[in-house]
Amino acid sequence: MRKSLFRILSVGPIPNHIAFILDGNRRYAKKRNLNEGMGYRAGFLSLMTLCKYCCELGVKYVTIYAFSIDNFKRKPHEVDAVMDLMLEKIQGMLKEESIVSQYGVRVYFIGNLELLNEHVRQAAVKAMEATSNNDKIVLLICVAYTSTDEIVHAARESCEAKRARVRSSGAREGNEEELKVVDIERHMYMGVAPDPDILVRTSGETRLSNFLLWQTSNCVLYSPRALWPEIGLRHLVWAVLNYQRVFPLLERRRKQM
Amino acid sequence: MPNHVAVIMDGNRRWAGSRNFPIVFGYEAGFRAFKRLIELACNWGIGTLTVFAFSSENWCRPKAETDLLMGLFERILRFELEHFMRENIRISLIGDATKLPKQLQSLLVDAVEATQNNSRLHLIVAANYSGRSDVVQACRKIAFKVKDGLIDPNDINEYLVERELETSCTDFPHPDLLIRTSGELRMSNFLLWQLAYTELYFTNALWPDFGESEFLEALCSFQQRQRRYGGNL
């Protein structure tokens, strides 16, 4: 049934890149009288299901806001629980029977990874290496990420790169060209993917929470009321239909630019 | 109550189109809605109001239309400056004014200077503004400081970037609430960095139809939001 639905959707343009803010895991746990950890686990199952659907639909990039730098402000035991779960799931990705392997998912961890503990960071690096040859769909996991931190990092790297170029070429600094958009974009963590076409935030909150501010300047926004663990096929279909509705206008704008 | 409200005044052309009016009627009706908004902001104690008057992407529209808009902006500034002075409204401009017609540029400069000490409402007009360009020009200024040895690349932080953004004309550059009319669910490159934690409110009403009841709905929606900034409640 899903195959036929996706075939119908494919008559129109399919978004190349969908980004998700996975909001509502804790509220879901509270609603079901579960502990918070179970909320995050339920959220992880939803993530795997969504990735599967996106892959089947022909979406090439999926980005998720797994953990913001701001989330480090939460209670220590909560942060630890999320980090432990992340470590468990990242290690799970490396197994052959995981969805990542079965569906050919290439994984990137996007963010200021130095802020993560050693175990999680190492596991993340390993997972990126292990999946680097997968080519069916790319999953970008934003962890220890905020958009403003990403921009600052890109600015720093651009300045360092300019300095290094000047030193190595022996040219006078005065001959250097001024900083351009491409300089910033080249050094963004998200430079490995095109800009998202759709940004979905679950749980009815309508704000960006410092996620992909640069990349979503012309992205279609969708904020369903469903909590993240409740997200399903119908939400994905609705998001794609909305995208298809405004696509002609967005294409015209892109061509004019 | 939100201290800083930002508005994307979208839907003027569709409003005119749906009534079979020429586009200029849509923009003039949009201006009347803009005046209503300023009055509402003053009455409801909003401290800062940022409006997206003209995006750098709008230059792609037909020349006749952009000329019309520029003419309308000039008329507004000529006739409304006195009103802004009386109402104690301060005007600031963000965006690349150099691409605007010379006469409009000089009217804007005069308006900004004349109102700089007003304090009831700070009206920030984004004309020929792009959020991405704002971030790039801020980073460029910082890059010059690095080149001149004033700062090290490792010193670059969010505070330094924010100080160089065009919205540093206000102490509250981050809108609490952003309203976009006409049902479009996009940011359209408006205020990129500054919108990190802004509550977004989208309404199907076209801009010329946006009045007190629509504004109150937006305020009510804002008051029901739970702003966590990534932390706990």
Q: Quick: pLDDT tens for B124-171.
A: 999 889 999 999 999 999 999 998 989 999 999 999 999 999 999 999
What pLDDT was estimated at residue B54? 81
- CA-nearest residue to A242 within chain B is B185
What pLDDT was estimated at residue B70? 87
What pLDDT was estimated at residue B18? 95
Residues A148, B146: C-beta atoms closer than 8 Å = no
**Whole-complex ipTM:** 0.92
* Token pair in block for residue A157: 């790297």
Question: Does residue B67 surpass a pLDDT of 70?
Answer: yes
Q: How many CA atoms lie within 13 A of B31 on its CB side?
A: 16
Residues B143, A70: C-beta atoms closer than 8 Å = no
Question: Does residue A16 surpass a pLDDT of 90?
Answer: yes
Among A146, A181, A222, whose Cβ lies nearest the Cβ of B136? A181
Contact A210, B180 (CB under 8 A): no
Q: If you average pLDDT over every residue of chain A, what do you get?
A: 91
Residues A221, B186: C-beta atoms closer than 8 Å = yes
B14 at interface of A, judged by CB pairs closer than 8 A: no
What pLDDT was estimated at residue A176? 58
Contacts of A67 in chain B (CB under 8 A): none
pLDDT digits (tens, 9 = 90+) for B137-150: 999 999 999 989 89
- CA-nearest residue to A211 within chain B is B196
CA A11 to chain centre: 26
Residues B135, A246: C-beta atoms closer than 8 Å = no
Task: With residue B193 as reference, give the H or E element that holds it.
Answer: none
CA B77 to chain centre: 16
* Token pair in block for residue A79: 């942060």
Residues A206, B202: C-beta atoms closer than 8 Å = yes
Dihedral pair phi/psi, residue B194, rounded to 5°: -70, -15
pLDDT digits (tens, 9 = 90+) for A87-106: 999 998 888 777 888 889 99
Q: If you average pLDDT over every residue of chain B, what do you get?
A: 92
Rounded Cα distance between A65 and A109, Å, is 10
Q: Which residues of A are catalytic?
A: 23
What pLDDT was estimated at residue A174? 53
Average pLDDT for residues B177-183, to the nearest whole number? 96
| A interface test, pick of B55, B192, B229, B233 with most A CB neighbours within 10 Å | B192
What pLDDT was estimated at residue A250? 84
Tokens 């012309």 sit at which residue?
A: A218
SS3 assignment, position B141: helix
What pLDDT was estimated at residue A2? 87
Q: How many helices (H) does chain B have, and how many strands (E)? A: 7, 6
Average pLDDT for residues B13-32, to the nearest whole number? 94
B142 at interface of A, judged by CB pairs closer than 8 A: yes
Contacts of A213 in chain B (CB under 8 A): 131, 192-193, 195-196
Q: What structural domains does chain B harbor?
A: 4-130+174-223 (3.40.1180.10)
Average pLDDT for residues B188-216, to the nearest whole number? 95
State the pLDDT confidence band at A171, using cuts at 50, 70 and 90: low
What pLDDT was estimated at residue B195? 96
Average pLDDT for residues B210-230, to the nearest whole number? 92
- CA-nearest residue to B162 within chain A is A148
- CA-nearest residue to A166 within chain B is B147
